[in-house]
Chain A
Amino acid sequence: MAIFKDKHYFRVNLEKEPDESLWMRCKACGELVFKRRVRENNNICPHCGEYFFLTAKERIESLIDEGSFEDISQPIMAEDPLSFEDSKPYIQRIEEAQEATGLASAIIIASAAIAETPVVIGVMDFRFIGGSMGSVMGEQICHGMEEAIARRVPFILISSSGGARIQEGIFSLLQMAKTTAVRAKLAEEHLPFISVMTYPTSGGVEASIASLGDVIIAEKGAMIGFAGRRVIQNTIAEELPKNYQTDSFALEHGFIDRVVKRENLRGELETVLGFFVEGE
């Protein structure tokens, strides 16, 4: 056993992390897990069941029929209407996010099928400036709903967003009104809107489009709320319950219809769609 107490022996092993392209360490249980196994498992830790972030593309893949994906996003990207600069110019932030994600914006709008039911689906990508909603996301969501109307199919929105994008100021705030206005059209057309809230669905996204689904489903482990824990503790200095703004909190207080495990989400959507869309 002496050899295991050898400092040198430990140091060498800690510094020499396994090949990062193949392995990752679960932030919850600390286990070293094979990346491919994680991916095949919907980005869920095979050891402890912890959910890792899904990119927008991974999320879409996990939900739709193979080969049914068609990117129908508008060919647009963020402008910098306020010439905003904090610790970094906003334009630079956008470019870095595009570089890092390979996406034009924080959302993808796709035409796809779920168990052979055609849908239009919008999926946010949290890696892109916290999935925040600026002019582009607002426009894409509206475009998605309009495409759903044009195609006479249901609209599904998978939210993963910290809220409105500060760098576009008032324009971001007004996207809440914009998406809501188009949501009203979808209702007039009697087309279903299924809102799926994942980790996190907060701020301006939670306080507008995400909360207006005909059916609202939260993924297990979602964080759902308006003002973040820190904001509340700073301004009100209130003691908050343990499950504050969790999926169970949202269900208990009546904001959402159901909580669904990630691995069951596709099946859940299939079930819900079945009530709105008549099979052949």
Chain B
Amino acid sequence: MSDERTLDLLETKILELRELNKVDEIDLTTEIERLEKKLASMRKDLYANLSDWERVKLARHPKRPYALDYIGEIFSDFYELHGDRLCGDDRALLAGLAKLDGQSIIIIAQQKGRSTQENKERYFGMTRPQGYRKAQRVMALAERFSFPVITLIDTPGAYPGLESEEANIGGAVAQNLLAMAELCVPTIAVVIGEGGSGGALAIGVADRILMLENSIYSVISPEGAAAILWKEKERVKEAAAALNLTAPHLLDLGVIDEVIPEPLGGAHKDLPQTASALKERLIHHLTTLCAEPVKALLATRYQRYRSVGRYRTLDG
């Protein structure tokens, strides 16, 4: 079976042939058409039946669009707000004001880095306590002015380091869950890449949970599950499948509301297309949510989270 690299290579070759076709007036049209057909069918074969593990790899793809890429495409006038007002500013979690279709909103977004230097600054997208506390203080701001909150989730998890533990990372996550449960404005959470456990949920207790088609959301990484349950790091593929962590699985399980389709090959193949599909759904859901009285909104949200879980009732 072909892999992504083969497809990319073929794509490059086709582009080269096209150039050649123009310059030397050699007629390669039939050849090019044949190759393009071949490429399309190979791509379909490769991506139509992605295994769960392959989706995990797509969700973590180095070329995958990150939060700022979507923010640039979807919102106008993003105005970043820095700092948790306590001790620091986490670059792995961004917050700010923005406009969606003319409406002022608050954005809370987890941001990974592209370069080594940027990743160092952004802790590879792992949120620290000061990030969650920044999220919490901008949620309070949102509530004060009735701005809806949109969160973009993309993190391997909360940052598991000494400085994080010293600053009570668990408590910071817990406080965020509480804040989001009680927040008196409409909230939408979108998993755009990795939804890594409590670190993702901390900005995910929303009225709507959307996921991009090739994003994942899980209680633990496949690597973590393989190490703990299978005691073998290599069994990540099984772990990925067992965890049901892909967007389609989670939709089937009824825990998310909608899957936003991505172009064949993943969001990075066509950012504007992915972003515009997401934008359309964001506007749709926000319009619906904003039409609801706050009291009803909170009651529905409460019911949603109060009823989550699957268990068996014992007889007698």
A residues contacting B by CB (< 8 A) are 75-79, 81-82, 84-87, 104, 134-136, 138-139, 142, 164-178, 180-185, 202-204, 206-212, 224-227, 231-232, 235-236, 238, 240-241, 244-245, 249, 253-255
**Closest-CB distance, A232 to chain B (whole angstroms):** 5
Chain B interface SS verdict (over half)? helix
User: Inside 8 A of B308's CB, which chain A residues have their CB?
Assistant: 135, 138, 171, 174-175, 177-178
* CB-based contact B217/A170 at 8 Å: yes
Q: Known contacts A86-B242, A211-B174, A244-B165: does B310 contact A231 (CB below 8 Å)?
A: no
**Closest-CB distance, B200 to chain A (whole angstroms):** 8
Could you list 12 A-B pairs, sorted by A, with CB under 8 Å? A77-B312, A78-B312, A86-B238, A168-B310, A169-B242, A174-B255, A176-B174, A181-B301, A203-B198, A226-B164, A226-B165, A255-B171
B residues contacting A by CB (< 8 A) are 158, 160-162, 164-171, 173-175, 177-178, 180-182, 197-198, 201-202, 204-205, 217-220, 224-225, 228-231, 238-239, 242-245, 250, 253, 255, 301-302, 305-306, 308-314, 316
The number of residue pairs between A and B whose CB atoms lie closer than 8 Å in the complex comes to 196
Closest 7 A/B residue pairs (Cβ): A135-B309, A227-B160, A86-B229, A226-B170, A207-B170, A211-B174, A81-B310
* CB-based contact B219/A181 at 8 Å: no
Q: Known contacts A164-B219, A173-B219, A177-B205: does B310 contact A226 (CB below 8 Å)?
A: no
Measured in the bound complex, the distance between the Cα atoms of B167 and A170 in whole Å is: 26
User: Inside 8 A of B305's CB, which chain A residues have their CB?
Assistant: 174, 177-178, 180-181
* CB-based contact A253/B243 at 8 Å: no
Measured in the bound complex, the distance between the Cα atoms of B166 and A249 in whole Å is: 8
Q: Known contacts A76-B312, A180-B181, A232-B161: does B229 contact A166 (CB below 8 Å)?
A: yes
* CB-based contact B244/A236 at 8 Å: no
**Closest-CB distance, A140 to chain B (whole angstroms):** 9
Measured in the bound complex, the distance between the Cα atoms of B202 and A208 in whole Å is: 9
Contact of A225 among B165, B244, B253 (CB under 8 A): B165
Measured in the bound complex, the distance between the Cα atoms of B228 and A19 in whole Å is: 35
Measured in the bound complex, the distance between the Cα atoms of B307 and A139 in whole Å is: 8
* CB-based contact B242/A232 at 8 Å: no
Measured in the bound complex, the distance between the Cα atoms of B243 and A13 in whole Å is: 49
Q: Known contacts A78-B312, A170-B245: does B198 contact A176 (CB below 8 Å)?
A: yes
